[in-house]
Amino acid sequence: MLKAIFIEPVDVLYAEDYLQLKYYEILLQYLRKQDSSWTFDRLMSRREELLESMRVSQPHLALAEALLSSRQSARYREHVAYFRRRYGLRYITMIPGMYDVLKGLRRHFKLVVLSNQDRVERYLRRFNMHLYFREVVTPAKAGAAKPGLEIFRQALKLCRAQPAEALMIGSRVDLDILPARKLGLYAILAHFPPEEKQILPQNLNERSFFASLTRIPEWPKKPRRRGEVPHAVARTPAEVMAFVKQWELPTELSEEEQQKPVESAKEEGEPAPMPTTLADVLRELLRPYLPPFPGS
């Protein structure tokens, strides 16, 4: 029986497509300083050539290294990092329907955000989603990142769950599905098309970028190895809820996976740590008004 659900927020709870578009528009500015003949369509063609030849998690940075001088590439990297910190919230969009999914899941499971973004709580608060989650696990807190298994183990420990009692809902095969399956968790790949994310291109750059995304996504969406195959693929938020509600999870864990030790959680009766930040204090104040978790 499931006890906990881990969720990667990017492309599951909110979309960063417009933010990714801005990264390429900034890169185009740098390229035009070197060669004024560069166009956005040409840049998208180079992006697709790159992703067809190799797997890279951040194609815009790989293109910058390949097309710019080392000095300009370093400046570009700093530029997009600043842009994300300063303006990122403006270009992140909520995926419709996920509020209802979170409301339904929260009644029955311990929900945990599992993300490689240390600033993810800032984005969750942008849409008031942080109230639905018991924990937010990031590299800064866990000292580990996906696709490593340690961050998953720490999330399991927080929920006092065995791998077979947890489900990972993620948007990336390489960072979410593969490590979850390797550790013995169940896994759902969220693969929402642009219309489900309410992406409506308005200008030439947006049309070119989203057409390119349709042809070749920013990161691998299709499994290439057996260990990357999810238990289900959800193409709408409603399907996520339907799988969790109606899907009978198969018992296909190997004996070796079933015998894998899981780090024990803190002893029963051990006092909870005192809140140390304003966010922790507010979470504790609001907890009595939220529906209780099973077993809590």
CATH number of the domain to which 145 belongs: 3.40.50.1000
**Pairing between β-strand 93-94 and β-strand 110-114 as defined by DSSP bridges:** unpaired
Task: Assign 183 to helix, strand or coil.
Answer: helix
State the pLDDT at residue 214: 87
Q: Report yes or no on 29 lying in a domain.
A: yes
28 plus 159 within the same structural domain: no
Checking phi first, is residue 123 left (phi over 0); if not, alpha (psi -120 to 50) or beta?
Answer: alpha
106 plus 248 within the same structural domain: yes
Of the candidates 91, 119, 149, which is a domain's last residue?
91
Of the candidates 56, 91, 126, which is a domain's last residue?
91
Q: Report yes or no on 100 lying in a domain.
A: yes
In the beta sheet, which residues pair with residue 57? none
247 plus 191 within the same structural domain: yes
43 plus 9 within the same structural domain: no
85 plus 110 within the same structural domain: no
d(CA 121, CA 279): 10
Could you tell me the two tokens for 208?
């070119």
pLDDT digits (tens, 9 = 90+) for 126-148: 899 999 999 999 999 999 999 99
8 plus 29 within the same structural domain: no
26 plus 77 within the same structural domain: yes
Q: Using an 8 Å Cβ cutoff, are 126 and 104 in contact?
A: no
Q: Using an 8 Å Cβ cutoff, are 233 and 215 in contact?
A: no
45 plus 63 within the same structural domain: yes
Could you tell me the two tokens for 112?
């945990």
Dihedral, 69, 71, 77, 82 alpha carbons, nearest 10: -140
Name the average pLDDT for the chain: 84
pLDDT digits (tens, 9 = 90+) for 211-259: 998 888 876 666 777 778 899 999 999 999 999 886 554 444 344 433 3
State the pLDDT at residue 194: 83
pLDDT digits (tens, 9 = 90+) for 273-293: 444 445 544 554 555 454 443
177 plus 86 within the same structural domain: no
- Cα-based distances in Å from 102 to 6, 12, 110: 12, 11, 11
Q: Report yes or no on 249 lying in a domain.
A: yes
Q: Using an 8 Å Cβ cutoff, are 279 and 125 in contact?
A: no
Count of structural domains, the chain: 2
pLDDT digits (tens, 9 = 90+) for 52-69: 988 787 999 999 999 999
151 plus 243 within the same structural domain: yes
Measured from the Cβ of residue 109, the count of other Cβ atoms closer than 10 Å reads 22
Q: What is the pTM of this model?
A: 0.78
Q: Report yes or no on 291 lying in a domain.
A: no
Q: Report yes or no on 232 lying in a domain.
A: yes
Q: Report yes or no on 148 lying in a domain.
A: yes
Q: Report yes or no on 294 lying in a domain.
A: no
Beta-strand ranges (E) seen in 76-230 are: 93-94, 110-114, 135-137, 166-170, 186-190
Q: Report yes or no on 278 lying in a domain.
A: yes
φ and ψ at 93, to 5 degrees? -120, 140
Domain containing residue 77? 17-91
Could you tell me the two tokens for 17?
């497509």
Pick from 42, 71, 66: nearest CA to 54: 66
44 plus 80 within the same structural domain: yes
pLDDT digits (tens, 9 = 90+) for 72-127: 999 999 999 999 999 999 999 999 899 999 999 998 899 999 999 998 999 999 89
3-state secondary structure labels for all residues of 84-105: HHHHHHHHCEECCCHHHHHHHH
d(CA 178, CA 195): 27
State the pLDDT at residue 80: 97
For helices 59-67 and 17-34, the axis angle rounded to 10 degrees is 0
Of the candidates 58, 91, 124, which is a domain's last residue?
91
107 plus 48 within the same structural domain: no
